[in-house]
Amino acid sequence: MSDNETDDLAAVPSSDDAAAQEAMSPEAVAGDVAGDGAGAVGGEAGSGTSDGHAPVVDDDHDQRGPVYAGWAYLAFLFALFLGLALVAYSCDDSDSSTSTSNAVSSSTTEAIDAELRPVALEFAVDGDQVTLRGAVPDEGARTQLITLAEARYGEGNVIDELTVDAGTTLVGGSLSILGTTSEGDESPEGLQADVAAALGLDAGAFDVTFEEVDLTPIDVEVAVAAEQVTLRGVVPDQDTVDGMVGTASDLWGATNVDGSGLSVDALTTLAGGQVRLTGSVDAGDARLAAFANTAATAFGVTVDNAVEVDTSAEALGRLETRLREQLAANPILFATGSADIDPVSDEILQQAADAINAAPDIAVEIVGHTDDQGGAEVNQVLSEERAAAVLDRLVELGVDAERLTARGAGEDEPVADNATEEGRAANRRIAFEFAGAGDGS
């Protein structure tokens, strides 16, 4: 074979080269994109090509199909991931916005709070008065502070110098107490505690000087006129007022007692004090003595009894009548046929002793009486013995024996009909006769 023939052969492409070139041509690529099925049908239509070459098998096309499917799957996964990422970003952005909004709101509140100044109140104490100073956020706080102060010092003893400033707050605020008061005064410390409990204010400074003061002993007058009693004077506390008025009311009746003349001054004291009894009473009115006794024991004061006792015949007659009525309702009882006094009569005997002592210097005769049962002689002796027993008991109860005498009248001076049980019971009695007494009218 010549060189020219060799070149010609080289110039003529082989069937394999032609097939490869055809596969790479644009038309072939377009055929591949259209689908492998069309190529397969075309391949089976004949046993060769139009130029007589053997049919070309497209191995590259068969390998690219699965690759495209894989890329498509990856593209789907990427799109899904991207969608989920966008959703997550959106939610995170919303949470971030909310957090930012909350942070801004919190910061704003804190900024507002930071702009308010905690109150710094100062209460100045001067004995029984207190002055309120400082700024408060509103009228409600001001009113509450005044009310708390008045509860401790009294309505007329609180001086209000508080002002209202909306730029203040009770939160973190404080109350300081300063000034001077008497020793033992608990009002300053109590007021600071009250304000802390009611408004939440912290306890600030407590610079109160407690001075020892000279207390004035009380001097109370109890004036009696007929059945009316009037109390006047100054006492250290309300308990003393209530105690004195209550004692008088128990003795004379609440409607007959006027305690409006009593007032309270913490600078007074019961120690070394006195109660002066003035006015005029009937002989035998033991109520004044009872009041004096309570004043001395319950209040620890001395009693100056300057009351005039009316010992006129009329007054003494009224005393006899009063005792007779009391003994008729509650007679002095004895054991049957003897002079032994029944213990149930102790109370009426004490009342009789008090009445006799309330008629000073007046001689008193104690007279025993019986009914007509048992014989005149026996009854005479029994009446004498019973009168003497009563005299002895009165002496035991504090009556001066020099003022007392005893007499037995037996059955000779009845006051009722001995024919009835009721009459006989009335005739068995003890009577008290005061020297110089009238008829009691």
Give me the number of domains the chain comprises: 4
Say yes or no to pLDDT of 409 above 90: yes
pLDDT class for 13, splitting at 50, 70, 90?
A: very low
Percent of the chain with pLDDT over 90: 67
Q: Is residue 333 part of a domain?
A: yes
**Residue 330 sits in the same domain as residue 230:** no
Say yes or no to pLDDT of 236 above 70: yes
219, with CB counted inside 10 A (0-12, 13-18, 19+), is middle
Percent of the chain with pLDDT over 70: 76
Q: Where are the beta strands (DSSP E) in 55-157?
A: 117-126, 129-136
Residues 336-362 have a mean pLDDT of 93
**Which region, left, alpha or beta, applies to residue 279 given φ > 0 means left and ψ of -120 to 50 means alpha?**
left
pLDDT at 99: 52
Residues 23-31 have a mean pLDDT of 44
**Residue 124 sits in the same domain as residue 203:** yes
Identify the DSSP state of 327.
H
Say yes or no to pLDDT of 325 above 80: yes
| Per-residue buried b or exposed e for 344-357, using 16+ beta carbons within 10 Å of the residue's own CB | ebeebbebbbbbbb
Measured from the Cβ of residue 81, the count of other Cβ atoms closer than 10 Å reads 10
Residues 385-401 have a mean pLDDT of 96
Q: Is residue 356 part of a domain?
A: yes
Nearest CA among 420, 429, 343, 415 for reference residue 379: 429
Q: Is residue 52 part of a domain?
A: yes
Question: Which range among 109-118, 358-367, 415-424 shows the weakest confidence by mean pLDDT?
Answer: 109-118
Which of 147, 180, 211 lies at the terminal end of a domain, its last residue?
Answer: 211
Which of 310, 332, 363 lies at the terminal end of a domain, its last residue?
Answer: 310
**Residue 278 sits in the same domain as residue 321:** no
Q: CATH number, domain at 323?
A: 3.30.1330.60
Question: Which range among 48-62, 84-98, 137-151, 265-279 shows the weakest confidence by mean pLDDT?
Answer: 48-62
Q: Is residue 351 part of a domain?
A: yes
**Residue 317 sits in the same domain as residue 347:** yes
The pLDDT tens digits for 360-372 are 899 999 999 999 9
- C-alpha 230/C-alpha 22 separation (Å) is 143
Say yes or no to pLDDT of 241 above 80: yes
**Residue 321 sits in the same domain as residue 428:** yes
pLDDT at 374: 87
**Residue 409 sits in the same domain as residue 304:** no
Q: CATH number, domain at 180?
A: 3.30.420
**Residue 322 sits in the same domain as residue 408:** yes
pLDDT class for 31, splitting at 50, 70, 90?
A: very low
What is the C-alpha end-to-end distance of the chain, expressed in Å? 192
pLDDT at 19: 44
**Residue 223 sits in the same domain as residue 200:** no
Tokens of 118: 């905690």
**Residue 280 sits in the same domain as residue 388:** no
Which of 165, 180, 211 lies at the terminal end of a domain, its last residue?
Answer: 211
pLDDT at 78: 75
**Residue 255 sits in the same domain as residue 227:** yes
Residues 47-67 have a mean pLDDT of 51
Residues 40-51 have a mean pLDDT of 42
What's the domain range around 336? Answer: 313-434
Residues 102-131 have a mean pLDDT of 77
Q: Is residue 87 part of a domain?
A: no
Nearest CA among 304, 387, 321, 388 for reference residue 355: 321
Nearest CA among 142, 118, 144, 122 for reference residue 131: 122
**Residue 223 sits in the same domain as residue 163:** no
Q: Is residue 250 part of a domain?
A: yes
- C-alpha 270/C-alpha 72 separation (Å) is 111
- C-alpha 78/C-alpha 73 separation (Å) is 9
Question: Which range among 20-24, 40-44, 52-56, 208-212 shows the weakest confidence by mean pLDDT?
Answer: 40-44
Measured from the Cβ of residue 338, the count of other Cβ atoms closer than 10 Å reads 11
Q: What is the mean pLDDT of the chain?
A: 83
Q: Is residue 109 part of a domain?
A: no
**Residue 263 sits in the same domain as residue 372:** no
Q: Is residue 254 part of a domain?
A: yes
